[in-house]
A and B are shown apart, each in its own frame.
Chain A
Amino acid sequence: MTSENHNSKSIFHGFWALTNRDLKKWYKEPILLFMSIIQPIIWMGLFGRAMNIGAMLTNNPLVPPQIADELMKNTFGVSDYFSFMSVGMLSFVTLFTTMFSGMSIVWDRRLGFLNKALSTPVARGTIIMSKVLSAVIRSLIQAALVIGLALLLGMQLSSSFTVLHLLGVFAALFLMCLGLSSLFIAIAIRSARWETQMAVMNLLNLPLLFTSNALFPTSFMPDWLQTISKVNPISYGTDAARQLLILPTINASQLAMDFAFLSVFALVFATMGIVLSWKYLSK
């Protein structure tokens, strides 16, 4: 009758159940997906088209067309700013989605679901990592949609682009999202106030974006800003995606560096998330 379910349970039991719980909230409510796609559309459509830095050179009678083209390539690696910025949008969208993953643990705490989960034999690390995984999956699906949208709006893929490159892009984004969502969940792990979490998000989102190469190449930034961008994971994720998607030639050593940095970043913060969950999830 009683406690007979001491059967062969892996320490991962409940992992997919918890992940899927978060995902269900999202795909059962298409409006949420729709809303999260609207933002990059606005950025790509309005910002990318209106602030067309490329047009400053290419449509400028003072600059001969050939020189303009060279200048663009020299600055952005490609001759149109829109393609450059679209890849930055991938980072932008994934950054926002992963930031909200911290919110979901705050809500679970407030609504009592977290306590309930903690009273079951599910591993503490599983509770945290399922949140991370669901944020990663959501981010990657959104990234796929953004790539599709960008292509429709005129993003130019590099001539050497293959499906393998696309897999590489997702691998880089996966690592970046894994690290970022672990980081934001770790910040939220003890918080029961969503206001605090909102404040953290507002404080971090744009600075993280502006101190990366998502919207503008870092080589034109002042030295101190370049230093920040060198530890900003968004720079590495964006650079990897940019090389694989649009740049005419791939700088192999730089790409290897991108993946190495992102792997370490993901590993460190995922581990931190799990360790913190042992210590701080229950008080």
Chain B
Amino acid sequence: MEEVIKVENLTKVFNKSLTAVDHVSFSVKEGEIFGFLGPNGAGKTTTINMLITILKPTEGTAQVCKYSITRDANEVRNCIGVVPQEYTADEDLTGMENILLCADLYGIPRSESKKRAEELLELVEMSKFADKRVQTYSGGMRRRLELACGLVNRPRVLFLDEPTLGLDVQTRAATWNYIKKLKEQYNMTIFMTTHYLEEADNLCDRIAIIDRGKIIKLDSPEALKESLGGDILTVTTKEDDDFSGLIDKIPKVKEVKKQDSTYRVKVERGEETAPHILNTLMKNGVTITRLSLSKPTLDEVYLEYTGKTMREEEATDMFRQRMTLMRARH
């Protein structure tokens, strides 16, 4: 299949000191939904901004629709649609006026753009509100309007930057449905970023896990989960002694990781192996205070490859890094 996006060693350094994207290479095939998954400040938006030609790479290059993002920026702009992280629709204009404005920026004649706008508004179920000012829209409605704006030039590649950021759970699920529907209707390639694991799991054909500007792992959600090689059993003991060796000897246990008095045990067929582990530990006089068994999720994948949970990430140093990034950008 044809490669619609081809990225080679793409790098962005802000203010000569902050490396936001660090020699990233990957390619996206025609018709694929490709996701960039990572915490805030990992370099997702910076990558998107380079691919949509509004930020110049410090090093490396990329091709979108076979055009170079640095040399043929205008050709790239013609074949892509962009749905940015922020709500960019003009509050003072109506939904319809906003889509027509987007169409004008692509130089689409009014006779054609009017038809497309109506069709797109219909698809995202916004026809009723077409002539209402955006001020009166809810968050979900604004998202849908942004989606419609991003598609007005019938792009070959659609870029979605955090498409459901700040939406509640129900609206988020509804927005996923709209994205799927639009994808079906127009059959384009989608490049999206997200820091919601379930979003990546739900929408993407392939996921790149990105952390501190580097791609750590790239595969389909299923393969990523499989690569964990089984279920995860988490056991907390009362005693502080190290029982890793003991657990490791139990059949079907593949790996044991100890953190304080909690063990993350990677096992095959968790339901059957868990009782074995419990028995062994209890026979050796260990008191178990907590136990949980989980099927692999992207959360586990993320933990496996970055050594951190996403929540920890966001709470600590990433926040500072993000602030620095924002300042660097301005």
A13, A25, A29, A121, most chain B CB atoms within 10 A: A121
Majority-rule SS of B interface residues: loop
Q: Are B54 and A3 in contact (CB under 8 A)?
A: no
Which residue of chain B has the shortest Cβ distance to A3 in the bound complex?
Answer: B79
C-alpha spacing A3/B155, complex, angstroms: 6
Whole-angstrom distance between the alpha carbons of A2 and B104 in the complex? 17
* A18 contact set on B, CB distance < 8 A: 101, 104-105
User: Which residue of B92, B153, B156 is within 8 Å of A29 (Cβ)?
Assistant: B92
Contacts A21-B90, A25-B92, A115-B54 given; indicate if A121 touches B154 (C-beta within 8 A): no
CB of B55 closer than 8 Å to a CB of A: yes
Produce 1/0 per residue, A107-129, CB < 8 A to B: 00001110111111110000000
When distances are taken between beta carbons in the complex, the residues of chain A under 8 Å from B319 are none
A116 to B154, CA, bound (A): 16
Interface residue B77 (Cβ < 8 Å from any Cβ of A):
yes
Assess the A192–B156 pair: CB atoms within 8 A: no
Q: How far is the CB of B18 from chain A (nearest CB, A)?
A: 13
Query: With A28-B92, A112-B85, A283-B55 in contact, is A120–B154 under 8 Å at CB?
Result: no
The tally of residues in B whose CB lies under 8 Å from a CB in A reads: 41
Which residues of B, 65-122, contact A by the 8 Å Cβ criterion? 65, 74, 77-80, 82, 84-88, 90, 92-93, 97, 100-102, 104-109
Asked whether A282 and B56 contact (CB < 8 A) given A9-B107, A21-B93, A120-B102, the answer is yes
Let me know if B104 and A3 touch, CB within 8 A. no
Interface magnitude class on chain A: 20 to 34
CA distance A208 to B52 in the complex (A): 41
In the docked arrangement, what's the CA distance between A124 and B100, Å?
19
Tell me the A residues contacting B by CB distance below 8 Å.
Answer: 1-7, 9-10, 13-14, 16-18, 21, 24-25, 28-29, 111-113, 115-122, 192-193, 282-283
Q: Known A-B contacts: A17-B100, A115-B54. Give 20 more (CB < 8 A).
A: A1-B154, A3-B153, A13-B105, A14-B104, A21-B90, A21-B101, A24-B92, A24-B93, A111-B87, A112-B85, A116-B82, A119-B77, A119-B82, A119-B84, A120-B106, A121-B107, A122-B105, A192-B330, A282-B53, A283-B55
